Structure 1
Amino acid sequence: MKYIVMLGDGMADYPVAQLGDQTPLEAAKKPNMDFLAQNGTVGMVKTIPEGYPPGSDTANLSVMGYDPAIYYSGRSPLEAVSIGIELQPSDVTFRCNLVTLSDAQNYEQASMVDYSCDEISTEESTILVNYLNDHFKNEKCNLYPGISYRHCLVLKDAKTGSDCTPPHDISGRPIAEYLPKGRYGDLLLDMMKRSRQLLKDHPVNKARIERGLHPATSVWFWGEGVKPALSSFEEKYGIKGGVISAVDLIKGIAICAGLKSVDVPGATGNIHTNFKGKGQAAIDLLRNGYDFVYIHVEAPDECGHRHEIENKVRSIEKIDEEILGPVIGAMREDGEEFSILLMPDHPTPLDIRTHTAEPVPFVLYRSFQHGTPFTSRYTELLSGETGLFVENGYTMMDRLIKG
């Protein structure tokens, strides 16, 4: 038996006027997803526990079978693990975005223009982060380069208690009321202000401006956390598995859970990702001694954050055509019995450009079971109409693997 999770990050949405009051899932042509809905168990599931922010960290922990109330220790330490940072129990970490702020005389008067600097390249961002760290680093503070706009700050011998806002939650807004507060609020804000001065005339930014791209005008800290301690996925479920994702956060969860993290050439985390490569990597994993694969695709979420309506629809269609279809076809070709859990981690509605904590539609399909069709298509509305509701998202993995 092979077990597959097809996770379209942020895939769920609200009706969109430009799509004829359809959601992207309703507007997309996705025959494979609809086939699973017609022949599987369909319903809604709550992935974000009450009182938790609707982040991909808590949501994906839930889908992977880990109760966030027990295992969640912050987003940034999971990302730190994925880029090879050796954390100590007394370390406190923060996600560090390179962002584009508007040009204002005072830092506090600026607005959030772009939380990713036009998805700055890893080559460029590494130069900038290392340059900033030459000015920031001391025995208590270290800044580590990651991928694209996503980096990590580690404070030694520190404590939690800072209050920070994700930059993708405030796109286009003045930043004044969202600046860091709490235990290390002053320290973080000072570094953010200093970064603006240091980055202003950097050659990397000058070259980006000449190419018509957003420059990295500041760092932005958020996602405070401490070293996570996840139990082994293999010991928990008795199967060997792997994770396919372009996102540091998901790779970090995989590493902490003892799952194999597979890197796919050309996997970017946006609409230009290597969809076919991810599908083939999943097939290769399942054909080479692994019984479980978690395929994570970030593209719908990024399109939601950036209000890219057509791209969000297209990302869903490419997941269906270039990942889900080939994986199903390979399992049939191999004569394997298989189960697929299809779902988003959370909604990322185009209209508000950020995550929400609402329940999401799921399909649980088993190749060896065919009953009366639940629905005709995989959509938010039809999934809700089945009446099946799962209160705790972390139980979905038990449903997939244990039945």
Structure 2
Amino acid sequence: MKHVIVIGDGMADYPLEEINGKTPLQVAEKPNMDWIASRGESGLLRTVPKGMQASSDVAIMSILGYNPTKFHTGRGPIEAAGMGIELEEDEMAFRCNLISQKEGVMRDYSAGHITTEEAEKLIETMDKKYRDLGNFYVGTEYRHLFVTKHLNDEINNIQTRPPHDMINERLKDNIIEPKDHKYVQALNEMILKSTNILSNHPVNLRRKKETKRPANGVWIWGQGKKTTLEPKFDEYGISGAVISEVPLVKGLGVLAGLNKFETYQDTKFSNLNYEEKAKLGLAKIKDYDFLIIHDELPDEKSHAGDIEKKIDAIEKVDYLVGKIIQGLRGKKFTISILPDHPTPIEVKNHTAEPVPFSIYSTEGRRDKVEEFDEYSARRGSMGKLKGNEFINKFLSL
């Protein structure tokens, strides 16, 4: 039996007036997701426990079968695992975004989806400048890592804010707390001075000439100490892998005992090669019993508030799902489609409502749900599950 989970990041949404009171999932052409729903069982999944931040690290940790209230220590150490960085027990890892700011105001949390090649030069500049505070590590595009050297118990409870939560807000109003701690002051100074350091960097001078948004600042957030997860899939006696372009998702896979793989990513985020992603998925499912394929494009378009492009992103994920189903025909398999969390267009951010999920198994049952969306799933026979209950249900079919 082969098992495949496809996660369309942020696909779930609210009804929108612009599309006649329907959600993007309801209006998108998604015959393959609907195929899973109409031939399998559906339900709702609460991936974000009450009181926790609605984020992919929390949500996907739940989907993998872990209780985030017990295991989640922060986003940074998860991304470190995905990047192959081994943290010491007394270190703290921060996610580091390259951002675009103008006159001290956050304009773009991704610096126009800067390329990894450009980002590497900027991150190297920051690393040389601030090695007395910690180390910067190059990730992909705008997503990087900063690891402290000077951690102590006094600052274990510092508070940071994700850059995608503060678009059009002043940087100074969102700096790290508590501001009166000496080391936190040094980190905040680094964040605010990064604009002066990076603005006239050759990479940004070239980007300005090309009318691209400059990556003229860094923003560190999502901090945490080393995360340890007990390999979940050893319990089931199965081997598994994760396919994603996102270090966070790869990191969760690694911590859960999965192997990680990524597909080619074009310099423009919207040009992900879905054909190649599907081929890689089908190649790996030959080698492994269990596979997670994650796609972030719907979430990116949700943060941008672009309804049409979110619908298009959902349809791209559906194409990927169709290729996987086609490649599995004739075999015994179980496949599920779900978002990790909602990212509603009207708020341009993550929310914590339960997400729809559908599971089809060649050995399973079907209910009366005919389509995959937020409202159809409410009628599903699976009912409403806690996030970390999902994986047991999925693997038992």
TM-based fold match above 0.5: yes
Shift of 1:179: 1.6
2:42–2:383 CA contact under 8 A, matched in 1:
no
Runs of 4+ in 1 over 6 A off after TM superposition: none
Matches within 5 A, 1:122-141: 122-138=116-132, 140-141=133-134
1:65–1:395 CA contact under 8 A, matched in 2:
yes
Q: 1:148 maps to what in 2?
A: 141
Alignment match of 2:340 (pick from 335, 342, 345): 345
Distance 2:328 2:160 in 1: 45
Distance 1:342 1:386 in 2: 14
Distance 2:233 2:355 in 1: 26
Distance 1:319 1:340 in 2: 14
Query: Is structure 2 residue 373 aligned with structure 1 residue 374?
Result: no
Distance 1:77 1:152 in 2: 9
Distance 2:34 2:168 in 1: 36
Q: 1:84 maps to what in 2?
A: 84
Distance 2:391 2:81 in 1: 23
SS at match of 1:237: coil
Q: 1:258 maps to what in 2?
A: 257
Q: CA RMSD in A?
A: 1.6
Query: Is structure 2 residue 392 aligned with structure 1 residue 398?
Result: yes
Q: Percent identity?
A: 37
Shift of 1:320: 1.0
2:11–2:341 CA contact under 8 A, matched in 1:
yes
Q: Which runs of 5+ in 2 are unaligned?
A: none
1:196-218: CA deviation from partner (whole Å, max 9, x where unpaired): 11112111111101101110121
Distance 1:7 1:370 in 2: 22
1:89-142: CA deviation from partner (whole Å, max 9, x where unpaired): 110011111111112xxxxxx22110011001111111011011111012x511
| Paired amino acid for 1:114 | D
Distance 1:7 1:224 in 2: 24
Distance 2:115 2:215 in 1: 11
1:9–1:299 CA contact under 8 A, matched in 2:
yes
Distance 1:122 1:186 in 2: 29
| Paired amino acid for 1:156 | K
| Paired amino acid for 2:171 | I
| Paired amino acid for 1:340 | I
1:179-228: CA deviation from partner (whole Å, max 9, x where unpaired): 21125532221101221111121111111011011101211110011111
Q: 1:230 maps to what in 2?
A: 229
Q: How many residues in Structure 1 have an aligned counterpart in Structure 2? A: 391
Please give the TM-score of this superposition, normalised by the length of structure 1: 0.93
Q: 2:162 maps to what in 1?
A: 166
SS at match of 1:100: strand
1:359-383: CA deviation from partner (whole Å, max 9, x where unpaired): 0001111123344x42221111111
1:215-249: CA deviation from partner (whole Å, max 9, x where unpaired): 01211110011111111133122100100000000
Distance 1:345 1:269 in 2: 23
Q: 1:121 maps to what in 2?
A: 115
| Paired amino acid for 2:143 | R
| Paired amino acid for 1:143 | F
Distance 2:171 2:192 in 1: 12
Distance 2:344 2:270 in 1: 16
| Paired amino acid for 2:374 | E
Distance 1:69 1:219 in 2: 29
In structure 2, the CA distance between the partners of 1:70 and 1:6, relative to structure 1 (3 Å rule), is same
1:246-301: CA deviation from partner (whole Å, max 9, x where unpaired): 000011111222211012123779432111211111111112x3110001001001
| Paired amino acid for 2:332 | E
